[in-house]
Amino acid sequence: MSTRILITGATGFVGSHILESLMQDRQVIPIAACRSPENLSPDFKGEVRIGDLRDPQYIHSVTQNIDIICHAAAWSSLFAHKRQSRTNFLEPSLRLIQSAQNAGVKKFIFTSSTSATSPKYSTNALHKGVPKRFWPHLSSVVAIEDNLREVANSEFSTIILRLGIFTGRRYRLGLIPILLPRLRTHLVPWVKGGKTHLPLIDGRDIGQAFLKTAKTELPSHDAFNIIGAEQPTVRSLITFIHQNFGYPKPHFSVPFFVAYPFAWLMEKLNPVVPWEPLVTRSIIYLMEENKITNDKAQSQLGYEPTIQWQDSVREQIHELHQHQGKSMSMSSNKRDKLNATQ
């Protein structure tokens, strides 16, 4: 018997890769939920449920006759925008969870982040998330995680996938799109010499992880870290970008205790300057060292990442050069809508 799986944010980075992965499995009937069906993959010929997750009536209708939901829609920002994050992401997500439970959905899989908890506890994906006042979007992610823990039961399984830093095709909001134009200013420093590691992950590996999670029998609530096959250091990543694309490398280094106050100052200046901050505290936080592994996902889900970070980054930058004419905004295009972002 086929499993009916709804993918929210099906035209976004995470959602589109989930959709592609699910399309390869004949035991799955993928159903795309999105606002703009013209942006779906031309290879997708299945059911599309068009609407806006901020609309309670749409949320009710979109959850009907569904076995599993892969929630990949999000409104994201790397700093500030607390009201927009609540209105466009947190509140719709909480309503979606409630509606899914009422509609008899069996499993709800949530797109979270390896940054949801502090680096000290990041190895354990089940460890409770830590809200960050300086990063409202991440605080919304943590609030959704908390809700999923509370509502999980034998009839409604909730699974949290804490994904690493996105790279690869079709991703134009995130660390690399933000980093590239700033490297050209020659003002971006190394933080701690660039020695910390980044848990990068390609969209194709994300799609694989969601498919395996959907098909695996799991407890009423569980959580997994999902990252790529290798975690490069910040220095390795920027050196690769420098050697392959000619972007300047940083000329000096600062410790974390200097980087955070500097980023705070950049955020404070944002309302009075015509450009976005050179750096934000969320970006510094992403560079904190962690000990994240795929061990649990490999043993329980059979997840095996296959895309090398160098190939993923190369493909992403090539695509950015082809399609992105100006620096990427640190929020979801500063428009109040749901996009599949981190």
CB 207 within 8 A of CB 21: yes
Which long-range CB contacts under 8 A does 253-262 form with residues at least 24 apart? Answer: 253/189, 253/190, 253/191, 253/192, 253/193, 253/194, 254/189, 254/190, 254/191, 255/191, 255/192, 256/191, 256/192, 256/284, 256/288, 259/189, 259/191, 259/284, 260/284
Strand order in the sheet with 28-34: 48-50, 28-34, 3-8, 68-71, 107-113, 157-163, 221-226
Say what the pTM is: 0.95
CA distance 316 to 312: 6
Residues 156, 108 contacting (CB under 8 angstroms): yes
N-term to C-term CA, the chain: 33
List, as one string, the DSSP characters of 126-147: TSPP---TT-HHHHHHHHHHHH
**Which of the 8 DSSP states describes residue 38?**
G
Determine the average pLDDT of the residues in 300-318.
Answer: 97
**pLDDT tier at 173 (50, 70, 90 boundaries)?**
confident
pLDDT digits (tens, 9 = 90+) for 70-97: 999 999 999 999 999 999 999 999 999 9
Per-residue tokens: 232: 């490069």
Which class is domain 3-167+201-227+291-306? alpha beta
Report domain extents, the chain.
3-167+201-227+291-306
pLDDT digits (tens, 9 = 90+) for 175-207: 999 999 999 999 999 999 999 999 999 999 999
pLDDT for 338 equals 43
Given a cut of 90, whether residue 18 has pLDDT beyond it is yes
Report, as an integer, the average pLDDT of 310-325: 89
- CA distance linking residue 245 with residue 318, whole number of Å: 9
Compute the distance between CA of residue 52 and CA of residue 88 in angstroms, rounded to an integer: 10
* Model confidence pLDDT, tens digit, residues 34-47: 999 999 999 999 99
Mean pLDDT over each residue of the chain, to the nearest integer:
93
